[in-house]
């Protein structure tokens, strides 16, 4: 009887060992835990005086009929466009054309109004002359200027480089405070670039013409960086 019990126990032991051989190594299948990291945000900025101005120039005309209003408006806009070109305006393009009836106090149609608007770009120092030329040619709707830099992309890349340097400097301070040092960059992501905005005023242009004060604009970039810790 004892021999039978020993044989059965031995049989169970063999089966258990056989099953253990076929089982996957769960510990080996798991990914190795990642090392410790630190994530910081870096912000970089570059200041520059814009060198381009974008403006819109429009004219509104009225006549008894829509056809007459459109014809008169077209003549007026041709004069404005010609004046803009002579004043060294560039990238001249039509913004919109509009025609609508004009009513009197009783609600009856009392004629038609036609309006047309074009946009143009000029160097900042030539913008006053562009405005004056358009107004003299008959423009009665002027808006702008929108100021920008022709090398905006290069400025943003400079700001991006400063953002990376600042992120590393911040991470080094935090790592040192924790008694650690920085390893390689694990991840880096870029936030949307900020639209340049006026930063500080500069001297105004010739007061004898329409004054345009470009001021300085600040271009910023923001990133998030994850460093490995040693």
Domain segments of the chain as ranges: 37-49+151-229, 52-148
Q: Is 229 in contact with 38 (CB distance < 8 Å)? A: yes
CATH fold of 37-49+151-229: Translation Initiation Factor IF3 (3.30.110)
What's the chain's average pLDDT? Answer: 81
CATH fold of 52-148: Alpha-Beta Plaits (3.30.70)
Task: Please count the other Cβ atoms lying within 10 Å of the Cβ belonging to residue 118.
Answer: 22
* 88: pLDDT strictly greater than 60: yes
Question: Considering only CA atoms, which of 36, 33, 34 is closest in space to residue 182?
Answer: 36
Question: pLDDT tens, 114-166?
Answer: 999 999 999 999 999 999 999 999 999 999 889 989 898 999 999 999 999 99
Question: Considering only CA atoms, which of 52, 9, 5, 36 is closest in space to residue 212?
Answer: 52
Segment (H or E) for 68: helix 66-86
- Mean predicted confidence (pLDDT) in 53-65: 95
Task: Name the burial class of residue 194, with classes exposed (0-12), middle (13-18) and buried (19+) by CB atoms within 10 angstroms of its CB.
Answer: middle
Question: pLDDT tens, 166-206?
Answer: 999 999 999 999 999 999 999 999 986 555 555 433 333 34
* 44: pLDDT strictly greater than 50: yes
């Amino acid at each position: 009887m004892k021999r039978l019990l020993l044989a059965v126990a031995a049989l169970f032991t063999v089966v258990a060992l056989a099953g253990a051989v076929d089982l996957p190594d769960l510990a080996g299948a798991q990914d190795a835990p990642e090392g410790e990291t630190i994530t910081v945000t870096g912000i970089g900025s570059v200041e520059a005086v814009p060198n381009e101005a974008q403006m819109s120039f429009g004219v509104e005309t009225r006549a008894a009929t829509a056809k007459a209003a459109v014809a008169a408006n077209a003549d007026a806009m041709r004069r404005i466009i010609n004046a803009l070109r002579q004043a060294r305006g560039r990238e001249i393009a039509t913004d919109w054309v509009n025609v609508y009836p004009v009513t009197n106090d009783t609600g009856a149609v009392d004629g038609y109004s036609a309006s047309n608007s074009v946009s143009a770009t000029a160097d900042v120092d030539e913008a006053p002359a562009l405005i004056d030329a358009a107004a003299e040619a008959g423009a009665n709707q002027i808006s702008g200027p929108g100021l920008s830099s022709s090398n905006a992309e290069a400025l943003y890349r400079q700001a991006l480089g400063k953002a990376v340097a600042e992120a590393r400097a911040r991470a080094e301070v935090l790592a040192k405070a924790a008694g650690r040092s920085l390893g390689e960059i694990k991840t880096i992501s870029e936030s949307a670039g900020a639209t340049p905005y006026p930063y500080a005023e500069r001297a105004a242009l010739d007061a004898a013409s329409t004054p345009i004060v470009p001021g300085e604009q600040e271009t910023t970039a923001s990133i998030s960086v994850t460093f490995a810790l040693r």
